Amino acid sequence: MLNKIFGRKKKGLANPEDGKDLSIEDLITLERYEEALEELKQRARLYPKDLHSHLKIAEVYVSLKNVTRALDSYIFVADSMADDGFFDKAIALLSKAAKLAPGDDQLPKRINRYRSMKKLEHRRSYAIEGLMMNSSTQVSSAANSALEIEMMWNKIAKSHLVAQLDGEQLKKLFSVMILKRLKAGQVLVEVGGNLPLIHLIVEGVIEAGASVNGKYFGLRTFSTGDLIGDSALLEHSVWPATYKIVEDAKVFTLDRNGMQTTMSGHPDPRAFISVLRQQHNDRDVLASLQKLQRS
């Protein structure tokens, strides 16, 4: 089988040293590494996704004591594995490769990145499940709904909310938040409004602004991943400014009922509330407004 994959079929060589009909494995066994390397490179060019050949290339470079090239090949294979979702295999491979260059911090950083990607993929599966359960995310067909949900996830995947909540928490949260589609020019909430809602911006731009001495000031803009309204929902405060849609937007809205559902059975409610408050966007808007009023 190995001969079929890596080289020509052997025909019972009388003298394998003559180089005829040798498989790649034969060449490696005979320590004819340069020839084996050329054969492997040729195969890798023909079949770029043949990771087994790239691994063999790395091993041959190790035998040739070319650590730099060996690491390049190991990284290529590990990245390909990670791209396909095989994070544990990628981590194990680079952990092995790291022993070749113990003073190089490149591989540990890459391993940590794979671990982060693995955690994100874990969160993704739970978040997608929650979004699929949410009636507000369903559109004209199941296929279109799945596509839109995937696109929304890609936008919010880097938000602090996703980074700090585990999979089960995200599933519960995204199953109860209400998706709203808003057009540019719409007002999300007026200054002084007492709507107890938190909004997670999926896409678009929302501006917080207010009038001071008869003149309108834009205080701050918010976009993908930003949370606004934490003070309104968690502290029963009025909204410090008028929030207007600048670019067509999609937002997930969490109301009191959704909050109660999300908090039910939560192992650490205070930590969850802390995540919702972490950005302090409402507080920052209020501080900017007060600074204008004093000037």
Between 2-11, 21-30, 52-61, 210-219, the lowest mean confidence (pLDDT) is in: 2-11
Task: Give the span between the Cα atoms of 15 and 1, in whole angstroms.
Answer: 22
Res 18: pLDDT: 53
Buried b / exposed e along 47-86 (16+ C-beta atoms within 10 A): eeeebebbbbbbbbbbeeebeeebbebbbbbbeebbeeeb
How many structural domains compose the chain?
A: 2
Q: Which of 104, 139, 156 is the last residue of a domain?
A: 104
Res 20: pLDDT: 56
Task: Give the span between the Cα atoms of 181 and 19, in whole angstroms.
Answer: 69
Query: Domain of 281?
Result: 171-294
Res 139: pLDDT: 78
pLDDT class for 186, splitting at 50, 70, 90?
Answer: very high
Please report whether residue 67 resides in a domain: yes
pLDDT class for 192, splitting at 50, 70, 90?
Answer: very high
Please report whether residue 88 resides in a domain: yes
Q: Which of 104, 123, 141 is the last residue of a domain?
A: 104
Q: Give the three-state DSSP class for 265.
A: coil
Task: Give the span between the Cα atoms of 191 and 163, in whole angstroms.
Answer: 31
Q: Which of 74, 104, 134 is the last residue of a domain?
A: 104
Please report whether residue 53 resides in a domain: yes
What would the pLDDT profile of 229-262 be if each residue is shown by its tens digit? 999 999 999 999 999 999 999 999 999 999 999 9
CATH code (residue 234): 2.60.120.10
Instruction: Say if residue 80 is in the same domain as residue 177.
Output: no
Closest CA to 96 of 75, 119, 116: 75
**pLDDT above 70 coverage of the chain, percent:** 93
Please report whether residue 123 resides in a domain: no
CATH code (residue 51): 1.25.40.10
Please report whether residue 209 resides in a domain: yes
- Cα of 96 vs its chain's centroid, Å: 25
Please report whether residue 157 resides in a domain: no
Please report whether residue 83 resides in a domain: yes
Tell me the pTM: 0.77
Per DSSP, the residues of 119-179 read HHHHHHHHHHHHHHH-GGG--SSHHHHHHHHHHHHHHHTTSHHHHHS-HHHHHHHHHHSEE
Task: Give the span between the Cα atoms of 199 and 188, in whole angstroms.
Answer: 10
What would the pLDDT profile of 102-125 be if each residue is shown by its tens digit? 988 889 999 999 999 999 999 999
Please report whether residue 251 resides in a domain: yes
What would the pLDDT profile of 124-153 be if each residue is shown by its tens digit? 999 999 999 999 998 767 778 899 999 999
Q: What is the CA radius of gyration of the chain?
A: 28
Rounded to the nearest 10°, the torsion over CA 280, 285, 287, 289 is -170
- Two structure tokens written together for 212: 């001071």
Res 2: pLDDT: 43
